[in-house]
């Protein structure tokens, strides 16, 4: 349920609504805008007398939210959210460009890759220290050593680092290094992990599960929001369909639709979405045109030698060309790089 307060109403009016919510056993989440404060009521709202609540001083109207996701909904937060990350941001006018190898493989190799993507125009570094893989025999990542290398790359480049966390037990170690904690597709509905990330104190990037509906994706984000972390970013990375020519099917309609349903930033990952380096630049351009707030691209100096996802990784020079090609397109849709 959403309580929309009148413009200019004071803290006393907001406090009275919050007090009534507490008496009914509900929790509240405040969204303070430039003109209005919006109060989201969480819990069993069937006990709320809407007419009585609308009679409170300072209350403009009370709305029942039709979607099961409340805090992620635009009804609760009509304006686009911008997630600030150490001098950079996701959401807003500037497109977030995230780049780097799929996995952290060695210190020298990763730091060199980080330097190259920064020179090409990336604003964030990606790289997996913990790697969830379909096969137990595939490279699983350098784990704690990988985190140390990520910290070194951030120190060398000054760029924020995004890396995946796989279990609640690993959150403290990953959060100590990462500027943004990523939840991968395989963990999108790991509700214990999502709930713990609500208290991690760092932004969270939530990738869509490979067979998840848009509503399930947004409900997963709701777990993080409801547990106290408002800094959530969504990432469409392709879903599993019958198509065999690509690794996944990059669902750009989900990007466009999510932008109408939620205030959270929505990014696209064409690398995992296609699994083919030759398709990544075109799908990056398509994602920007569809309204994505940013892109996550895998870049590797030697893709043929990559321990993970080499076929979908761009060479640094190709990535640099892509960033330049995106600039006029970004300007055409009112964005900057």
Boundaries of every domain in the chain: 2-63, 83-332
Is the Cβ–Cβ distance between 178 and 162 less than 8 Å? yes
CB-count burial class (<10 Å; 0-12, 13-18, 19+) for 189: middle
Confidence of residue 84 (pLDDT cuts 50, 70, 90): very high
* Proportion of the chain in helix, strand, coil states, percent, rounded to 5: 40, 20, 40
* Strands 161-164, 124-126: pairing kind: parallel
CA distance 143 to 140: 8
According to DSSP, residue 54 is labeled: H
pLDDT tops 80 at residue 222: yes
CA distance 284 to 272: 12
CA distance 5 to 191: 32
- Looking at residue 91, its pLDDT comes to 96
Residue written as token pair 């920007």:
288
Count other C-beta atoms under 10 Å from residue 267's C-beta.
24
- Looking at residue 75, its pLDDT comes to 85
Helix (H) or strand (E) holding 156: helix 144-157
Bridge partners (DSSP) listed for residue 204? 181, 232
Is the Cβ–Cβ distance between 92 and 80 less than 8 Å? yes
Name the nearest CA neighbour of 295 among 263, 317, 272. 272
- Looking at residue 185, its pLDDT comes to 96
| CA-atom Rg of the chain in angstroms | 21
- Looking at residue 30, its pLDDT comes to 87
Fold of 2-63: Alpha-Beta Plaits (3.30.70)
Count other C-beta atoms under 10 Å from residue 105's C-beta.
23
Count of H-run helices and E-run strands, the chain: 11, 14
- Which residues, in sequence order, are CB contacts of 209 under 8 Å at separation 6+? 185, 186, 188, 189, 216, 217, 220
Structure tokens at 218: 């947004």
Structure tokens at 67: 């979607």
- Looking at residue 66, its pLDDT comes to 74
Confidence of residue 191 (pLDDT cuts 50, 70, 90): very high
| Same fold for the pair 2-63 and 83-332 | no
Fold of 83-332: TIM Barrel (3.20.20)
CA distance 321 to 317: 6
3-state secondary structure of 36: coil
- Looking at residue 21, its pLDDT comes to 92
Please give the share of the chain, as a percent, with pLDDT higher than 70: 100
CA distance 99 to 117: 6
- Looking at residue 180, its pLDDT comes to 98
Integer angstrom CA distances of residue 44 from 48, 59, 80, 143, 179: 8, 20, 27, 42, 35
What does the pLDDT average to over 264-287?
Answer: 98
Is the Cβ–Cβ distance between 90 and 96 less than 8 Å? yes
Supply the pTM of this predicted model. 0.87
* Strands 266-268, 294-298: pairing kind: parallel
Is the Cβ–Cβ distance between 298 and 313 less than 8 Å? yes
Is the Cβ–Cβ distance between 56 and 16 less than 8 Å? yes
Confidence of residue 324 (pLDDT cuts 50, 70, 90): very high
């Amino acid at each position: 349920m959403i309580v929309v307060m009148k413009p200019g109403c004071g803290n006393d009016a907001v406090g009275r609504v919050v007090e009534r919510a507490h008496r009914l056993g509900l929790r509240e989440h405040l969204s303070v805008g430039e003109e209005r404060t919006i109060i989201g009521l969480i819990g069993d709202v069937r006990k709320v007398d809407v007419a009585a609540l609308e009679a409170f001083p300072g209350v403009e109207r009370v709305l029942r939210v039709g979607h099961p996701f409340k805090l992620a909904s635009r009804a609760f937060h009509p304006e686009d959210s911008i997630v600030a990350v150490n001098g950079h941001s996701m959401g807003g006018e500037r497109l977030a460009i995230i780049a780097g190898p799929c996995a952290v493989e060695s210190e020298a190799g990763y730091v060199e890759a980080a330097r190259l993507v920064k020179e090409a125009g990336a604003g964030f570094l990606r790289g997996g220290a913990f790697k969830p893989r379909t096969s137990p025999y595939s490279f699983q990542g350098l784990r704690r050593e990988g985190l140390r290398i990520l910290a070194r790359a951030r120190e060398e480049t000054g760029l924020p680092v995004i890396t995946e966390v796989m279990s609640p037990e690993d959150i403290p170690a990953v959060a100590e290094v990462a500027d943004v904690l990523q939840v991968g597709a395989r963990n999108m509905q790991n509700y214990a992990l999502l709930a713990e990330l609500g208290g991690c104190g760092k932004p969270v990037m939530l990738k869509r599960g490979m067979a998840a509906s848009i509503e399930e994706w947004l409900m997963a984000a709701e777990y993080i929001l409801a547990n106290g972390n408002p800094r959530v970013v969504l990432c469409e990375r392709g879903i599993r369909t019958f198509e065999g020519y690509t690794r996944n099917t990059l669902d750009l309609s989900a990007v466009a639709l999510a932008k109408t349903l939620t205030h959270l930033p929505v990014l696209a990952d064409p690398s995992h979405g296609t699994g083919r380096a030759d398709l990544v630049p075109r799908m990056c351009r398509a994602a920007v045109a569809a309204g994505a707030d940013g892109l996550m691209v895998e870049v590797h100096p030697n893709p043929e030698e990559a321990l993970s996802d080499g076929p979908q990784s761009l060479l640094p020079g190709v990535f640099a060309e892509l960033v330049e090609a995106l600039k006029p397109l970004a300007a055409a849709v009112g964005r900057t790089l």
